[in-house]
Structure 1
């Protein structure tokens, strides 16, 4: 069968509040061009502000959802709704940096029933925090990530250890990790201290979240494998959605 990337253009929702001051946002158009030129993966990308994403219908018809960096978002509810839509509808999903944080927060609230958990950046006075300030900020840092064998992340990266770039000051706290695991979330990448850096959802067509920012890898001319994998999943979703049905 011909490769679907040669015939279908997938629709990608870039959920986030676009700003020229966010380096990852400035890099994304370059990455989309590189996907076409180097990988023959064409994505028709649309920016969806988080307030617009509060409406579930705002993501109708998209083949992938990418919750991009840039927190605090204008609308936490919109970021959470975007994750929920992708998770429940089986739409390929990638969350990076703030997208990672809100993907885990959505899972904790909507799947685990931990509705009172908060994000410290959005609710710094809250008592029950899932996303907490990092002891040492990772803004501008690089760090090694060990990837669990047999995971989606390991298949995508093709390695069990990788060096990644960060631009964040918040991460996942530890008290609720067991509850998240018990409900099916897999933590497939950790730093050298054992802190979670990658999460994924087995059984979903493609659901991956990273605290690091793959957008910042290299000079933008070669796409990080995680972004390439999202693009491939989006094109596959578009191909399946366009395939004729037979009765």
Structure 2
């Protein structure tokens, strides 16, 4: 194991009953063992993220499922820090949704961008209910070649599980994805299921929950990719 451990922050409000919250620490430890690294994982409650000073000590960030969070602004503050400071970042399910919301507000300067679960009547709800809720569902995902997520999986065709009701609003998808945020994965119906940022060491977000594989003894490729990016950044 590496002498100096990597420090990973989990952005979200821990709930032991949430499957993803059970799985993510397991996924990271499995990935750490595969890479022969030492990793320390710390949960960051969203209502405790009141400033960025406390974020500098982390090598990487994972924004976890089970939103709405207690403090949306706290979650967005941590995501923005990871994006601007070029720290490796992974967002799954609710983390995907909030990564898109942060990008809309702070990169595209859409000050009125909202999450439709929190503000259902918002004129610029960039996150809205999926046409078909993906609760305890499994589906195939086609990844875009040469993206970081495709590199992580070593394939462009994957099969993953969901517990999600919200995704990108198709009305704003083109404007959201014409700059540095790009579509990197779609499901069998052609609906967007993964995004990532260009010109960032590692900033990947998925609507599916790859961490769930860890509870079946399978090390999630994205957990390995996240730790590899952290290791490279801290070298």
Coarse TM-score class (shorter-chain normalised): over 0.9
- Residue 25 of structure 1, aligned match among 21, 25, 30: 21
Aligned equivalent of 2:69: 73
Give the structure-1-normalised TM-score.
0.90
Aligned-CA RMSD value: 1.4
Distance of 2:28 and 2:152 partners within structure 1: 18
Cα distance in 2, alignment partners of residues 133 and 102 from structure 1: 14
1:141-156 equivalences in 2 (<5 Å):
141-156=137-152
Instruction: Tell which structure's C-alpha radius of gyration is larger.
Output: 1
Q: Map of 1:75-224 to 2, 5 A cutoff?
A: 75-217=71-213, 219-224=215-220
- In structure 2, C-alpha distance between the alignment counterparts of 1:46 and 1:235, rounded to whole Å: 17
Runs of 5+ consecutive residues of structure 2 not aligned to the other structure: none
- Structure richer in strand, relative to its length: 2
Q: How many equivalent pairs are there?
A: 235
Separation (CA, whole Å) in 2 of partners of 1:194 and 1:162:
14
1:32 aligned counterpart, secondary structure: helix
Q: Is contact 1:8-1:238 (8 Å) kept?
A: no
Q: Using the TM superposition, give the Cα deviation of residue 154 of structure 1 relative to its aligned residue in structure 2, in angstroms.
A: 1.0
Which structure 1 segments of 5+ residues have no match?
Answer: 240-247
Deviation at 1:35, TM superposition (A): 2.4
- Per the alignment, do residues 220 and 30 of structure 1 end up closer, same or farther by CA in structure 2, a change over 3 Å counting? farther
The normalised TM-score by structure 2 is: 0.95
Large movers: runs of 4+ above 4 Å: none
